[in-house]
Chain A
Amino acid sequence: MPESMQVVGRNSGSPGLGRRLLTVAVASGLAATLTVSPAATAAEDTAAIPVSLISDEGDVVAGRDIGVFAEIATTSGAGEPEIRYELLETLATTSRGLAEVSPRSVDRASELAGDDPTLLLFSAGPEGLLMHYVDPDADPVDGVDHAATRAGRGAQGPARQVLRLGAPSSADGDTLFAASSTSSPCGPTGGPSLRATSTYTRRWVPFQRTQTLGKTRATYSWETTSNTKIDVATDGKFGAAKVGLAASSTNTTSGGWSSALPTNTSRRVDADWEYRRHDIWCTPLTGPQYYSGQWQWRPHRWTAGNRNVNSQPALTCKSGTRVKISNTTWVAQSTTVDYSGYFSIAGVSLKSQQKNSSSHKLSFQPTTSTGAHLCGTTDYPVSSAQVRETT
Protein backbone atom coordinates (compact mmCIF):
# COMPACT_ATOMS: atom_id res chain seq x y z
CA MET A 1 0.00 0.00 0.00
CA PRO A 2 1.57 3.25 -0.96
CA GLU A 3 1.89 5.89 1.67
CA SER A 4 0.59 8.50 -0.65
CA MET A 5 -0.71 8.86 -4.13
CA GLN A 6 -1.17 11.69 -6.51
CA VAL A 7 -4.21 11.88 -8.62
CA VAL A 8 -4.46 14.27 -11.46
CA GLY A 9 -8.04 15.26 -11.88
CA ARG A 10 -9.50 16.81 -14.95
CA ASN A 11 -12.15 19.41 -15.06
CA SER A 12 -13.75 18.89 -18.37
CA GLY A 13 -16.97 20.72 -18.56
CA SER A 14 -16.29 23.02 -15.66
CA PRO A 15 -14.72 26.04 -17.21
CA GLY A 16 -13.04 28.41 -14.87
CA LEU A 17 -11.94 25.83 -12.43
CA GLY A 18 -8.89 24.81 -14.32
CA ARG A 19 -6.71 21.82 -13.78
CA ARG A 20 -6.60 20.51 -10.30
CA LEU A 21 -4.14 18.36 -8.46
CA LEU A 22 -5.38 16.03 -5.85
CA THR A 23 -2.99 14.66 -3.35
CA VAL A 24 -4.21 11.67 -1.51
CA ALA A 25 -2.33 10.60 1.52
CA VAL A 26 -3.22 7.20 2.77
CA ALA A 27 -1.59 6.24 6.00
CA SER A 28 -1.91 2.58 6.59
CA GLY A 29 -3.83 1.84 9.70
CA LEU A 30 -4.43 5.45 10.55
CA ALA A 31 -7.16 7.87 9.83
CA ALA A 32 -6.61 8.94 6.29
CA THR A 33 -6.71 12.46 5.07
CA LEU A 34 -7.31 13.71 1.62
CA THR A 35 -6.33 17.13 0.50
CA VAL A 36 -7.62 18.91 -2.52
CA SER A 37 -4.99 21.35 -3.65
CA PRO A 38 -6.23 23.34 -6.59
CA ALA A 39 -3.60 24.53 -8.96
CA ALA A 40 -3.20 28.24 -9.04
CA THR A 41 -4.61 28.61 -12.50
CA ALA A 42 -8.03 29.88 -11.64
CA ALA A 43 -8.94 32.68 -9.31
CA GLU A 44 -11.51 30.74 -7.38
CA ASP A 45 -9.13 27.87 -6.91
CA THR A 46 -6.31 29.54 -5.12
CA ALA A 47 -7.20 28.34 -1.67
CA ALA A 48 -6.07 24.98 -0.45
CA ILE A 49 -9.17 23.31 0.77
CA PRO A 50 -8.76 20.60 3.30
CA VAL A 51 -11.33 17.92 3.24
CA SER A 52 -11.57 14.77 5.20
CA LEU A 53 -11.56 11.37 3.68
CA ILE A 54 -14.20 9.46 5.47
CA SER A 55 -12.67 6.22 6.43
CA ASP A 56 -13.20 4.22 9.53
CA GLU A 57 -10.06 2.24 8.85
CA GLY A 58 -7.94 4.86 7.21
CA ASP A 59 -6.61 2.38 4.78
CA VAL A 60 -7.23 1.48 1.22
CA VAL A 61 -7.84 -2.21 1.19
CA ALA A 62 -8.94 -4.59 -1.42
CA GLY A 63 -12.64 -4.55 -1.82
CA ARG A 64 -13.08 -1.02 -0.59
CA ASP A 65 -13.91 1.86 -2.82
CA ILE A 66 -12.85 5.41 -2.53
CA GLY A 67 -14.10 8.21 -4.64
CA VAL A 68 -13.53 11.88 -4.88
CA PHE A 69 -16.70 13.73 -5.46
CA ALA A 70 -16.74 17.46 -5.67
CA GLU A 71 -19.59 19.76 -5.01
CA ILE A 72 -18.74 22.98 -6.74
CA ALA A 73 -20.67 25.94 -5.53
CA THR A 74 -20.43 29.30 -7.16
CA THR A 75 -22.65 32.20 -6.42
CA SER A 76 -24.14 33.83 -9.47
CA GLY A 77 -25.35 37.10 -8.11
CA ALA A 78 -28.27 37.03 -5.75
CA GLY A 79 -30.15 33.94 -4.89
CA GLU A 80 -29.15 30.38 -4.29
CA PRO A 81 -25.66 29.28 -5.22
CA GLU A 82 -25.34 27.27 -8.35
CA ILE A 83 -24.25 23.80 -7.43
CA ARG A 84 -22.81 21.27 -9.78
CA TYR A 85 -21.43 17.87 -9.03
CA GLU A 86 -18.49 16.43 -10.75
CA LEU A 87 -16.51 13.36 -10.07
CA LEU A 88 -12.89 14.37 -10.25
CA GLU A 89 -11.10 11.14 -9.97
CA THR A 90 -11.38 7.66 -8.72
CA LEU A 91 -9.14 5.48 -6.70
CA ALA A 92 -9.33 1.81 -7.28
CA THR A 93 -8.00 -1.13 -5.42
CA THR A 94 -7.25 -4.56 -6.69
CA SER A 95 -7.83 -7.97 -5.29
CA ARG A 96 -4.10 -8.15 -4.71
CA GLY A 97 -4.36 -5.27 -2.34
CA LEU A 98 -2.57 -2.85 -4.61
CA ALA A 99 -4.03 0.59 -4.48
CA GLU A 100 -4.04 2.28 -7.80
CA VAL A 101 -5.55 5.25 -9.43
CA SER A 102 -8.42 4.64 -11.69
CA PRO A 103 -7.21 5.02 -15.23
CA ARG A 104 -9.81 7.54 -16.05
CA SER A 105 -11.69 10.35 -14.52
CA VAL A 106 -15.39 10.57 -14.96
CA ASP A 107 -16.35 13.60 -16.86
CA ARG A 108 -19.83 13.94 -15.66
CA ALA A 109 -20.25 17.61 -16.20
CA SER A 110 -20.07 17.34 -19.95
CA GLU A 111 -22.77 14.74 -20.15
CA LEU A 112 -25.85 16.76 -19.49
CA ALA A 113 -27.05 20.11 -18.49
CA GLY A 114 -28.59 20.05 -15.09
CA ASP A 115 -27.43 20.00 -11.56
CA ASP A 116 -27.88 16.42 -10.74
CA PRO A 117 -25.45 14.64 -8.55
CA THR A 118 -24.01 11.70 -10.32
CA LEU A 119 -22.52 8.53 -9.77
CA LEU A 120 -20.33 5.90 -9.38
CA LEU A 121 -17.39 4.23 -8.37
CA PHE A 122 -15.77 1.00 -9.07
CA SER A 123 -12.87 -1.04 -7.99
CA ALA A 124 -11.58 -4.52 -8.47
CA GLY A 125 -12.12 -6.31 -5.22
CA PRO A 126 -12.47 -9.88 -4.13
CA GLU A 127 -16.20 -9.73 -4.66
CA GLY A 128 -15.95 -8.48 -8.20
CA LEU A 129 -16.68 -5.11 -9.59
CA LEU A 130 -19.47 -2.96 -8.40
CA MET A 131 -20.83 0.36 -9.40
CA HIS A 132 -22.50 2.52 -6.82
CA TYR A 133 -24.92 5.26 -7.43
CA VAL A 134 -24.46 8.22 -5.17
CA ASP A 135 -27.02 10.89 -4.67
CA PRO A 136 -26.40 13.09 -1.66
CA ASP A 137 -29.97 14.33 -1.74
CA ALA A 138 -31.58 10.97 -1.98
CA ASP A 139 -33.57 9.28 0.68
CA PRO A 140 -31.02 7.30 2.69
CA VAL A 141 -33.08 4.22 2.11
CA ASP A 142 -32.57 4.63 -1.58
CA GLY A 143 -28.91 4.48 -1.96
CA VAL A 144 -26.68 6.54 0.22
CA ASP A 145 -26.98 4.84 3.53
CA HIS A 146 -23.60 3.30 2.82
CA ALA A 147 -22.02 6.49 1.64
CA ALA A 148 -20.70 8.94 4.14
CA THR A 149 -20.23 12.55 3.28
CA ARG A 150 -18.18 15.40 4.60
CA ALA A 151 -17.70 18.91 3.40
CA GLY A 152 -14.79 21.19 3.84
CA ARG A 153 -14.69 24.85 3.00
CA GLY A 154 -11.60 26.88 2.39
CA ALA A 155 -11.16 30.46 3.33
CA GLN A 156 -11.79 31.64 -0.19
CA GLY A 157 -12.62 28.67 -2.22
CA PRO A 158 -15.78 26.83 -3.01
CA ALA A 159 -17.15 23.95 -1.04
CA ARG A 160 -15.90 20.50 -1.76
CA GLN A 161 -17.50 17.29 -0.89
CA VAL A 162 -15.86 13.96 -0.64
CA LEU A 163 -17.59 10.68 -0.47
CA ARG A 164 -16.27 7.37 0.48
CA LEU A 165 -18.48 4.62 -0.73
CA GLY A 166 -19.29 1.62 1.28
CA ALA A 167 -18.07 -1.89 0.92
CA PRO A 168 -18.73 -3.47 -2.46
CA SER A 169 -20.97 -5.99 -0.81
CA SER A 170 -23.48 -3.27 -0.06
CA ALA A 171 -26.96 -4.21 -1.14
CA ASP A 172 -27.27 -0.84 -2.77
CA GLY A 173 -24.40 -1.56 -5.10
CA ASP A 174 -25.28 -2.38 -8.63
CA THR A 175 -23.30 -5.22 -10.06
CA LEU A 176 -21.18 -4.04 -12.89
CA PHE A 177 -20.77 -7.44 -14.43
CA ALA A 178 -23.07 -10.36 -14.12
CA ALA A 179 -21.76 -13.62 -12.79
CA SER A 180 -22.01 -15.30 -16.15
CA SER A 181 -19.82 -15.85 -19.15
CA THR A 182 -19.81 -12.12 -19.59
CA SER A 183 -18.59 -11.46 -16.09
CA SER A 184 -14.93 -11.22 -16.92
CA PRO A 185 -14.43 -9.69 -20.33
CA CYS A 186 -10.98 -8.70 -19.18
CA GLY A 187 -10.00 -12.02 -17.71
CA PRO A 188 -9.14 -12.66 -14.08
CA THR A 189 -6.39 -10.08 -13.73
CA GLY A 190 -7.53 -7.19 -15.87
CA GLY A 191 -9.51 -4.53 -14.09
CA PRO A 192 -12.58 -3.71 -16.16
CA SER A 193 -13.90 -0.19 -16.26
CA LEU A 194 -16.59 1.55 -18.21
CA ARG A 195 -16.17 4.33 -20.70
CA ALA A 196 -19.27 6.25 -21.58
CA THR A 197 -19.73 6.71 -25.29
CA SER A 198 -21.83 9.12 -27.29
CA THR A 199 -24.08 6.31 -28.52
CA TYR A 200 -27.59 6.17 -27.13
CA THR A 201 -30.74 4.17 -27.60
CA ARG A 202 -34.22 4.59 -26.19
CA ARG A 203 -36.87 2.24 -24.86
CA TRP A 204 -40.39 2.55 -23.56
CA VAL A 205 -40.27 1.45 -19.96
CA PRO A 206 -43.50 0.58 -18.10
CA PHE A 207 -44.14 1.81 -14.57
CA GLN A 208 -47.72 1.51 -13.45
CA ARG A 209 -51.07 0.07 -14.37
CA THR A 210 -54.58 0.68 -13.19
CA GLN A 211 -58.12 0.12 -14.29
CA THR A 212 -61.40 2.00 -14.07
CA LEU A 213 -64.91 0.72 -14.61
CA GLY A 214 -68.03 2.81 -14.90
CA LYS A 215 -67.94 4.73 -11.63
CA THR A 216 -64.51 6.33 -11.38
CA ARG A 217 -61.94 8.28 -13.27
CA ALA A 218 -58.33 7.90 -12.28
CA THR A 219 -55.16 9.97 -12.42
CA TYR A 220 -51.63 8.67 -12.13
CA SER A 221 -49.06 11.30 -11.23
CA TRP A 222 -45.39 10.52 -11.69
CA GLU A 223 -42.62 12.85 -10.56
CA THR A 224 -38.86 12.50 -10.54
CA THR A 225 -36.89 9.39 -11.33
CA SER A 226 -35.15 8.93 -8.03
CA ASN A 227 -37.09 5.81 -7.14
CA THR A 228 -36.69 4.17 -10.52
CA LYS A 229 -34.33 1.38 -11.44
CA ILE A 230 -33.97 -0.29 -14.80
CA ASP A 231 -32.05 -3.30 -15.97
CA VAL A 232 -28.63 -2.97 -17.53
CA ALA A 233 -27.84 -5.08 -20.60
CA THR A 234 -24.44 -6.13 -21.85
CA ASP A 235 -23.57 -7.11 -25.41
CA GLY A 236 -20.55 -7.72 -27.60
CA LYS A 237 -18.24 -10.52 -28.49
CA PHE A 238 -18.91 -12.29 -25.21
CA GLY A 239 -22.63 -12.32 -25.90
CA ALA A 240 -25.70 -10.50 -24.66
CA ALA A 241 -26.99 -10.79 -21.10
CA LYS A 242 -28.94 -8.98 -18.44
CA VAL A 243 -26.66 -7.50 -15.79
CA GLY A 244 -29.10 -6.24 -13.18
CA LEU A 245 -30.99 -3.19 -12.02
CA ALA A 246 -29.36 0.21 -11.92
CA ALA A 247 -30.45 3.74 -11.29
CA SER A 248 -30.05 6.15 -14.14
CA SER A 249 -26.76 7.95 -14.30
CA THR A 250 -28.70 11.18 -14.38
CA ASN A 251 -31.82 11.58 -12.32
CA THR A 252 -34.56 13.94 -13.19
CA THR A 253 -35.15 15.59 -9.86
CA SER A 254 -37.99 17.74 -11.04
CA GLY A 255 -40.54 17.07 -13.68
CA GLY A 256 -43.03 14.38 -14.31
CA TRP A 257 -46.38 13.85 -15.86
CA SER A 258 -49.94 13.03 -15.03
CA SER A 259 -51.99 10.47 -16.88
CA ALA A 260 -55.76 10.84 -16.68
CA LEU A 261 -57.85 7.74 -17.17
CA PRO A 262 -61.52 8.05 -18.11
CA THR A 263 -64.09 5.54 -17.00
CA ASN A 264 -63.88 1.99 -18.35
CA THR A 265 -60.19 2.10 -19.13
CA SER A 266 -57.39 -0.33 -18.42
CA ARG A 267 -54.11 1.41 -18.93
CA ARG A 268 -50.39 1.05 -18.50
CA VAL A 269 -48.14 4.11 -18.40
CA ASP A 270 -44.71 4.04 -20.01
CA ALA A 271 -41.78 6.41 -19.82
CA ASP A 272 -39.33 7.05 -22.64
CA TRP A 273 -35.93 6.14 -21.27
CA GLU A 274 -32.56 6.82 -22.79
CA TYR A 275 -29.85 4.20 -22.53
CA ARG A 276 -26.20 5.03 -23.03
CA ARG A 277 -23.60 2.70 -24.35
CA HIS A 278 -20.56 2.19 -22.14
CA ASP A 279 -17.59 0.35 -23.57
CA ILE A 280 -15.81 -2.01 -21.25
CA TRP A 281 -12.09 -1.41 -21.13
CA CYS A 282 -9.55 -3.56 -19.39
CA THR A 283 -6.61 -2.43 -17.33
CA PRO A 284 -4.14 -5.21 -16.70
CA LEU A 285 -1.77 -4.88 -13.82
CA THR A 286 0.99 -4.53 -16.35
CA GLY A 287 0.68 -3.23 -19.88
CA PRO A 288 -1.62 -0.78 -21.58
CA GLN A 289 -5.35 -0.63 -21.43
CA TYR A 290 -7.33 -2.34 -24.14
CA TYR A 291 -10.94 -2.48 -25.30
CA SER A 292 -12.61 -5.72 -24.37
CA GLY A 293 -15.01 -5.90 -27.31
CA GLN A 294 -17.91 -5.88 -24.86
CA TRP A 295 -20.17 -3.01 -23.94
CA GLN A 296 -23.06 -2.23 -21.67
CA TRP A 297 -26.30 -0.38 -22.19
CA ARG A 298 -26.99 1.49 -18.99
CA PRO A 299 -30.02 3.63 -18.11
CA HIS A 300 -29.01 7.20 -18.58
CA ARG A 301 -32.02 9.44 -18.12
CA TRP A 302 -35.71 9.88 -18.61
CA THR A 303 -36.26 11.94 -21.75
CA ALA A 304 -39.53 13.41 -20.42
CA GLY A 305 -41.41 11.35 -22.98
CA ASN A 306 -44.36 9.31 -21.83
CA ARG A 307 -47.28 7.43 -23.29
CA ASN A 308 -50.45 5.66 -22.30
CA VAL A 309 -50.94 2.08 -23.39
CA ASN A 310 -54.61 1.19 -23.24
CA SER A 311 -56.44 -2.12 -23.40
CA GLN A 312 -54.28 -3.87 -20.88
CA PRO A 313 -55.28 -7.18 -19.30
CA ALA A 314 -57.50 -6.82 -16.25
CA LEU A 315 -55.89 -6.57 -12.84
CA THR A 316 -57.05 -9.18 -10.36
CA CYS A 317 -58.35 -8.05 -6.98
CA LYS A 318 -57.00 -9.69 -3.88
CA SER A 319 -59.83 -11.29 -1.98
CA GLY A 320 -61.15 -9.18 0.88
CA THR A 321 -59.60 -5.90 -0.26
CA ARG A 322 -62.77 -4.25 -1.58
CA VAL A 323 -63.43 -0.82 -0.09
CA LYS A 324 -66.07 1.81 -0.78
CA ILE A 325 -65.12 5.39 -1.63
CA SER A 326 -67.37 8.42 -2.02
CA ASN A 327 -64.84 11.18 -2.57
CA THR A 328 -61.73 12.01 -4.53
CA THR A 329 -59.22 9.56 -3.11
CA TRP A 330 -55.45 9.40 -3.48
CA VAL A 331 -53.12 6.55 -2.68
CA ALA A 332 -49.34 6.69 -2.31
CA GLN A 333 -47.86 3.42 -1.17
CA SER A 334 -44.35 2.46 -0.23
CA THR A 335 -44.63 -0.63 -2.38
CA THR A 336 -42.37 -1.61 -5.24
CA VAL A 337 -43.67 -2.61 -8.63
CA ASP A 338 -41.65 -4.71 -11.05
CA TYR A 339 -42.41 -4.95 -14.74
CA SER A 340 -40.73 -7.64 -16.77
CA GLY A 341 -41.04 -8.63 -20.37
CA TYR A 342 -42.12 -5.31 -21.83
CA PHE A 343 -38.88 -4.18 -23.40
CA SER A 344 -35.51 -5.52 -24.44
CA ILE A 345 -32.09 -4.56 -25.72
CA ALA A 346 -29.89 -6.82 -27.82
CA GLY A 347 -32.60 -9.44 -27.58
CA VAL A 348 -32.42 -9.52 -23.81
CA SER A 349 -35.68 -8.99 -21.95
CA LEU A 350 -35.28 -6.34 -19.27
CA LYS A 351 -37.10 -5.25 -16.16
CA SER A 352 -38.09 -1.94 -14.63
CA GLN A 353 -38.66 -1.35 -10.97
CA GLN A 354 -40.60 1.57 -9.57
CA LYS A 355 -40.72 2.23 -5.88
CA ASN A 356 -43.94 4.06 -5.20
CA SER A 357 -43.89 7.07 -2.97
CA SER A 358 -45.67 10.32 -2.41
CA SER A 359 -44.19 11.35 -5.75
CA HIS A 360 -46.04 8.57 -7.50
CA LYS A 361 -49.68 8.95 -6.63
CA LEU A 362 -52.76 7.28 -7.95
CA SER A 363 -56.06 9.13 -7.51
CA PHE A 364 -59.62 8.06 -8.13
CA GLN A 365 -62.61 10.33 -8.57
CA PRO A 366 -66.08 8.78 -8.22
CA THR A 367 -68.38 9.82 -11.04
CA THR A 368 -71.63 8.93 -9.30
CA SER A 369 -73.18 10.25 -6.11
CA THR A 370 -73.46 6.72 -4.77
CA GLY A 371 -69.71 6.25 -4.72
CA ALA A 372 -67.59 3.44 -6.10
CA HIS A 373 -65.46 0.53 -4.96
CA LEU A 374 -61.72 0.00 -5.17
CA CYS A 375 -59.59 -3.04 -4.54
CA GLY A 376 -55.91 -3.87 -4.38
CA THR A 377 -54.03 -6.60 -6.18
CA THR A 378 -52.03 -7.60 -3.11
CA ASP A 379 -53.65 -5.95 -0.09
CA TYR A 380 -56.00 -3.13 0.83
CA PRO A 381 -55.63 -0.25 -1.64
CA VAL A 382 -53.54 1.75 0.80
CA SER A 383 -50.98 -1.05 0.93
CA SER A 384 -51.32 -2.67 -2.47
CA ALA A 385 -48.81 -2.44 -5.29
CA GLN A 386 -51.64 -1.80 -7.73
CA VAL A 387 -55.17 -0.51 -7.28
CA ARG A 388 -58.21 -0.67 -9.53
CA GLU A 389 -61.91 0.04 -9.47
CA THR A 390 -64.06 -2.98 -8.82
CA THR A 391 -67.77 -3.70 -8.80
Chain B
Amino acid sequence: MRGSAAVTLLVLAAACSGSTPPAGPLGQTDAGEAWGWSRTVEVGQQFTDGQPLIFVADPTLEVTIAAVEPLIAGDGLRHLGTSIVGPDRATGLVQYFDSWPPPSADFGVPLDDATGARLHGADDTETDLPNGAGWELLAGFEVTGAGRSTVQGYRVLYEHEGRRYSTVLGTTVAICAEEQAPVGPDECEPEYEVRLDHQPTPPTWER
Protein backbone atom coordinates (compact mmCIF):
# COMPACT_ATOMS: atom_id res chain seq x y z
CA MET B 1 0.00 0.00 0.00
CA ARG B 2 2.94 2.31 -0.01
CA GLY B 3 2.92 5.10 -2.54
CA SER B 4 5.80 7.00 -3.92
CA ALA B 5 7.32 9.84 -2.00
CA ALA B 6 7.26 11.88 -5.17
CA VAL B 7 3.49 11.68 -5.38
CA THR B 8 3.20 12.66 -1.77
CA LEU B 9 5.39 15.67 -2.21
CA LEU B 10 3.51 16.67 -5.33
CA VAL B 11 0.16 16.65 -3.58
CA LEU B 12 1.42 18.30 -0.44
CA ALA B 13 3.04 21.00 -2.50
CA ALA B 14 -0.29 21.67 -4.19
CA ALA B 15 -2.02 21.85 -0.84
CA CYS B 16 0.55 24.26 0.52
CA SER B 17 0.30 26.47 -2.54
CA GLY B 18 -3.22 27.49 -1.60
CA SER B 19 -5.00 25.89 -4.52
CA THR B 20 -7.93 23.63 -3.69
CA PRO B 21 -7.83 20.29 -5.43
CA PRO B 22 -11.24 19.25 -6.76
CA ALA B 23 -13.41 16.50 -5.37
CA GLY B 24 -12.64 13.15 -6.91
CA PRO B 25 -13.38 9.49 -6.51
CA LEU B 26 -12.64 9.29 -2.79
CA GLY B 27 -14.97 10.36 -0.03
CA GLN B 28 -17.79 9.43 2.28
CA THR B 29 -20.70 7.38 1.16
CA ASP B 30 -23.15 10.23 1.13
CA ALA B 31 -22.88 13.99 1.35
CA GLY B 32 -24.45 15.44 4.43
CA GLU B 33 -24.01 12.51 6.70
CA ALA B 34 -22.10 13.19 9.87
CA TRP B 35 -21.39 11.63 13.19
CA GLY B 36 -19.04 12.02 16.06
CA TRP B 37 -18.09 11.11 19.56
CA SER B 38 -17.08 12.87 22.76
CA ARG B 39 -15.08 11.94 25.85
CA THR B 40 -13.46 13.41 28.93
CA VAL B 41 -9.80 12.42 29.20
CA GLU B 42 -6.74 13.33 31.24
CA VAL B 43 -4.08 15.70 29.94
CA GLY B 44 -1.19 13.70 28.55
CA GLN B 45 -3.40 10.85 27.35
CA GLN B 46 -2.79 9.47 23.90
CA PHE B 47 -5.68 7.99 21.97
CA THR B 48 -6.79 6.80 18.55
CA ASP B 49 -9.89 7.98 16.69
CA GLY B 50 -11.02 5.09 14.51
CA GLN B 51 -14.29 6.56 13.31
CA PRO B 52 -13.43 8.03 9.89
CA LEU B 53 -14.41 5.75 7.04
CA ILE B 54 -13.48 6.43 3.46
CA PHE B 55 -14.65 4.87 0.20
CA VAL B 56 -13.49 4.72 -3.39
CA ALA B 57 -16.40 5.32 -5.73
CA ASP B 58 -15.55 2.84 -8.45
CA PRO B 59 -14.12 -0.68 -8.06
CA THR B 60 -11.89 -0.15 -11.07
CA LEU B 61 -10.16 2.84 -9.56
CA GLU B 62 -7.15 3.09 -7.32
CA VAL B 63 -6.03 6.17 -5.46
CA THR B 64 -3.01 7.00 -3.37
CA ILE B 65 -3.34 8.95 -0.16
CA ALA B 66 -0.85 11.76 0.13
CA ALA B 67 -1.84 13.18 3.49
CA VAL B 68 -4.51 13.07 6.17
CA GLU B 69 -5.01 16.33 7.99
CA PRO B 70 -7.26 16.45 11.07
CA LEU B 71 -9.09 19.77 11.29
CA ILE B 72 -8.39 20.59 14.92
CA ALA B 73 -10.11 23.41 16.79
CA GLY B 74 -8.59 24.34 20.13
CA ASP B 75 -5.12 24.13 21.61
CA GLY B 76 -5.28 20.84 23.44
CA LEU B 77 -4.71 18.24 20.73
CA ARG B 78 -1.59 17.19 18.84
CA HIS B 79 -1.82 14.92 15.84
CA LEU B 80 0.56 11.97 16.14
CA GLY B 81 -0.09 10.25 12.83
CA THR B 82 -2.69 8.30 10.91
CA SER B 83 -2.90 4.61 10.09
CA ILE B 84 -5.32 2.86 7.78
CA VAL B 85 -6.89 -0.58 7.64
CA GLY B 86 -8.55 -2.08 4.61
CA PRO B 87 -11.89 -3.67 3.75
CA ASP B 88 -10.83 -7.07 5.02
CA ARG B 89 -10.78 -5.94 8.65
CA ALA B 90 -12.81 -7.92 11.17
CA THR B 91 -15.13 -5.14 12.38
CA GLY B 92 -16.74 -2.27 10.54
CA LEU B 93 -14.78 0.10 12.70
CA VAL B 94 -13.40 0.43 16.19
CA GLN B 95 -14.16 3.93 17.34
CA TYR B 96 -11.61 4.46 20.08
CA PHE B 97 -8.40 3.18 21.61
CA ASP B 98 -6.82 4.76 24.67
CA SER B 99 -3.40 4.49 23.06
CA TRP B 100 -1.42 5.30 19.94
CA PRO B 101 -0.63 3.45 17.78
CA PRO B 102 -3.66 1.18 17.94
CA PRO B 103 -3.20 -2.58 18.45
CA SER B 104 -3.45 -4.26 15.07
CA ALA B 105 -4.55 -7.51 16.67
CA ASP B 106 -8.03 -6.05 17.14
CA PHE B 107 -8.47 -5.82 13.38
CA GLY B 108 -7.23 -9.23 12.33
CA VAL B 109 -5.14 -7.69 9.57
CA PRO B 110 -2.06 -5.46 9.57
CA LEU B 111 -2.32 -1.70 9.77
CA ASP B 112 -0.46 0.63 7.42
CA ASP B 113 0.48 4.23 7.39
CA ALA B 114 -2.28 6.22 5.73
CA THR B 115 0.22 8.38 3.90
CA GLY B 116 1.15 6.55 0.74
CA ALA B 117 -1.61 3.97 1.10
CA ARG B 118 -3.14 2.78 -2.16
CA LEU B 119 -6.89 2.33 -1.97
CA HIS B 120 -9.10 0.55 -4.46
CA GLY B 121 -12.85 0.46 -4.89
CA ALA B 122 -15.02 -2.36 -3.63
CA ASP B 123 -15.90 -5.30 -5.77
CA ASP B 124 -19.60 -5.97 -5.47
CA THR B 125 -18.90 -9.54 -4.53
CA GLU B 126 -16.70 -8.58 -1.62
CA THR B 127 -19.35 -7.22 0.69
CA ASP B 128 -23.05 -6.87 1.29
CA LEU B 129 -22.72 -3.15 1.89
CA PRO B 130 -23.93 -0.62 -0.67
CA ASN B 131 -20.52 1.03 -1.01
CA GLY B 132 -18.32 -1.79 0.14
CA ALA B 133 -16.63 -2.03 3.50
CA GLY B 134 -14.41 0.93 2.77
CA TRP B 135 -11.24 1.87 4.57
CA GLU B 136 -10.93 2.88 8.19
CA LEU B 137 -8.62 5.71 9.15
CA LEU B 138 -7.02 5.53 12.58
CA ALA B 139 -5.82 8.93 13.69
CA GLY B 140 -3.57 9.27 16.73
CA PHE B 141 -3.65 12.22 19.10
CA GLU B 142 -2.05 13.40 22.31
CA VAL B 143 -3.99 15.59 24.72
CA THR B 144 -1.61 18.45 25.36
CA GLY B 145 -3.72 20.84 27.40
CA ALA B 146 -6.79 21.15 29.57
CA GLY B 147 -10.10 22.35 28.22
CA ARG B 148 -12.20 21.55 25.22
CA SER B 149 -10.66 20.74 21.87
CA THR B 150 -12.32 19.25 18.86
CA VAL B 151 -11.62 17.58 15.57
CA GLN B 152 -14.02 19.06 13.03
CA GLY B 153 -13.29 16.53 10.34
CA TYR B 154 -10.44 15.18 8.28
CA ARG B 155 -9.10 16.53 5.04
CA VAL B 156 -7.66 13.80 2.87
CA LEU B 157 -5.34 14.69 0.02
CA TYR B 158 -4.87 12.00 -2.59
CA GLU B 159 -3.84 11.34 -6.14
CA HIS B 160 -5.41 9.45 -9.01
CA GLU B 161 -3.75 9.02 -12.40
CA GLY B 162 -1.62 12.08 -11.97
CA ARG B 163 -4.43 14.35 -10.80
CA ARG B 164 -4.67 15.73 -7.31
CA TYR B 165 -7.83 15.72 -5.24
CA SER B 166 -9.02 16.63 -1.80
CA THR B 167 -11.96 15.51 0.27
CA VAL B 168 -13.20 16.23 3.77
CA LEU B 169 -14.79 13.64 6.01
CA GLY B 170 -17.57 14.90 8.25
CA THR B 171 -16.76 13.11 11.46
CA THR B 172 -16.14 14.94 14.69
CA VAL B 173 -14.36 14.33 17.98
CA ALA B 174 -14.88 16.40 21.12
CA ILE B 175 -12.31 16.05 23.88
CA CYS B 176 -12.82 17.60 27.29
CA ALA B 177 -9.40 17.44 28.88
CA GLU B 178 -8.78 17.61 32.61
CA GLU B 179 -5.52 17.67 34.55
CA GLN B 180 -6.56 14.72 36.66
CA ALA B 181 -8.56 11.65 35.86
CA PRO B 182 -12.24 12.56 35.69
CA VAL B 183 -14.75 11.01 38.02
CA GLY B 184 -18.47 10.58 37.66
CA PRO B 185 -20.52 10.56 34.50
CA ASP B 186 -18.92 11.89 31.37
CA GLU B 187 -20.59 15.20 30.55
CA CYS B 188 -18.38 16.16 27.64
CA GLU B 189 -20.73 17.63 25.05
CA PRO B 190 -20.38 16.24 21.52
CA GLU B 191 -19.47 18.50 18.66
CA TYR B 192 -22.70 18.27 16.71
CA GLU B 193 -22.05 20.68 13.93
CA VAL B 194 -19.35 20.06 11.38
CA ARG B 195 -18.10 23.60 10.89
CA LEU B 196 -16.04 23.31 7.80
CA ASP B 197 -15.45 25.72 5.00
CA HIS B 198 -17.03 23.19 2.73
CA GLN B 199 -19.23 20.18 3.18
CA PRO B 200 -18.14 16.57 3.29
CA THR B 201 -17.68 15.27 -0.17
CA PRO B 202 -19.22 12.10 -1.51
CA PRO B 203 -17.17 9.92 -3.80
CA THR B 204 -17.86 10.90 -7.36
CA TRP B 205 -16.15 10.13 -10.55
CA GLU B 206 -16.80 11.21 -14.08
CA ARG B 207 -15.11 9.16 -16.69
Interfacial residues, chain A to chain B (CB-CB below 8 A): 318-335, 357-358, 361, 363, 371, 378-383
Contact = CB atoms under 8 A, between A and B. Distances in A.
B94 A324 contact: yes
Contacts of B133: 320
Interface in B115-144: 127-131, 133-134
Contacts of B93: 323-324, 380
A358 B38 CA distance: 17
Contacts of A381: 35
A324 B48 CA distance: 13
Contacts, number: 97
Interface of B: 28-39, 53, 91-96, 127-131, 133-134, 171, 186, 188, 190, 192-193
A333 B30 contact: yes
A216 to B, nearest CB: 13
Is the contact region of chain A dominated by helix, strand, or loop, or is it mixed? loop
B38 A327 contact: yes
A333 B94 CA distance: 19
B56 to A, nearest CB: 15
B33 A333 contact: yes
Contacts of A329: 35-37, 95, 190
Contacts of A321: 92, 129
Given A323-B92, A327-B95, A332 B33 contact: yes
A263 to B, nearest CB: 15
A150 to B, nearest CB: 27
Contacts of A328: 37-39, 186, 188, 190
Contacts of B39: 326-328
A330 B192 contact: yes
Contacts of B38: 327-328
A320 B127 contact: yes
Contact of B91 (A322, A327, A378, A382): A322
A357 B38 CA distance: 19
Given A380-B53, A381-B35, A325 B130 contact: no
Given A320-B92, A333-B32, A358-B193, 8 more contacts: A323-B91, A323-B92, A323-B95, A330-B36, A330-B192, A358-B192, A363-B190, A379-B29
A331 B171 CA distance: 10
Residue with the highest number of chain B CB atoms closer than 10 Å, among A326, A334, A382: A382
Contacts of B28: 382-383
Contacts of B30: 333-335, 383
B96 A332 contact: no
A361 B39 CA distance: 18
30 contacts: A318-B129, A320-B92, A321-B129, A323-B91, A323-B95, A324-B91, A324-B94, A326-B95, A327-B37, A327-B38, A327-B95, A327-B96, A328-B37, A328-B38, A328-B186, A328-B188, A328-B190, A330-B37, A331-B35, A332-B33, A332-B35, A333-B33, A334-B30, A334-B31, A358-B192, A380-B53, A380-B93, A381-B35, A382-B28, A383-B130
